[in-house]
């Protein structure tokens, strides 16, 4: 699990490289914020989580068939359930603090969807300025 939730997963690197190229500046894995968001953009009062579809249980709208590493659901299900609860709690706490919370799912960064996803992400970050904190789920 550490390998997947780790700090430099490939989808996250894609996003970091893109946003940096667009001139955004961010902090990484800020432990002072709920859930240690993957990217924190203070200027835009925005945090970005990059979620692996399996570990964070993307669910029905997921474009990836991502199964567990071993088919032992009795073992994985409670862990995944806790991940989901932890995600939700962190997002709620961040929103309560006035942060815009953006989620990017692994499957939204596949070869065919990547360009559109990154474009929407940068647009959503910019749009955050002057708006009340709201959830902007890119998968919606
Ligand atoms: Zn997905």
- Residue range 123-139, pLDDT digits in tens: 999 987 654 444 445 54
Going along the chain from its start, the domains and CATH numbers come out as 2-137 (3.40.960.10)
Distance between alpha carbon 64 and the CA centroid of its chain, in Å?
A: 16
What residues have their beta carbon closer than 5 A to ion ligand 1? Answer: 53, 58, 62, 64, 105, 107
Give the chain as a 3 state SS string. Answer: CHHHHCCCCHHHHHHHHHHHHCCCCCEECCCCCCCCCCEEEHHHCEEEEEECCCCCCCCCCCCCCCCCCCCCHHHHHHHHHHHHHHHHHHHHHHHHCCCEEEEEEHHHHCCCCHHHHHHHHHHHHHHCCCCCCCEEECCC
More confident residue, 118 or 6: 118
Average pLDDT over residues 101-121: 94
| Per-residue model confidence (pLDDT) at position 135 | 47
| Per-residue model confidence (pLDDT) at position 31 | 95
Least confident range of 6-10, 86-90, 96-100: 6-10
CA of 129 relative to ligand 1 center, distance in Å: 27
CA of 112 relative to ligand 1 center, distance in Å: 13
74 pLDDT higher than 60: yes
């Amino acid at each position: 699990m550490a390998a997947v939730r780790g700090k430099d997963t490939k989808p996250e690197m894609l996003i970091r490289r893109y946003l940096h190229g667009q001139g955004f500046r961010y902090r990484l894995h800020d432990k002072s914020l709920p859930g240690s968001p993957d990217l924190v953009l203070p200027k835009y009062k925005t945090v970005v989580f990059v979620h692996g579809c399996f570990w964070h249980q993307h669910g029905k709208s997921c474009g990836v068939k991502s199964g567990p590493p071993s088919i032992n659901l009795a073992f994985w299900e409670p862990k995944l359930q806790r991940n989901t609860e932890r995600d939700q709690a962190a997002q709620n706490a961040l929103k309560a603090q006035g942060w815009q919370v953006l989620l990017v799912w692994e499957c939204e960064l596949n070869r065919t969807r990547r360009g559109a996803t990154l474009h929407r992400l940068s647009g959503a970050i910019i749009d955050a300025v002057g708006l009340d904190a709201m959830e902007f789920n890119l998968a919606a």
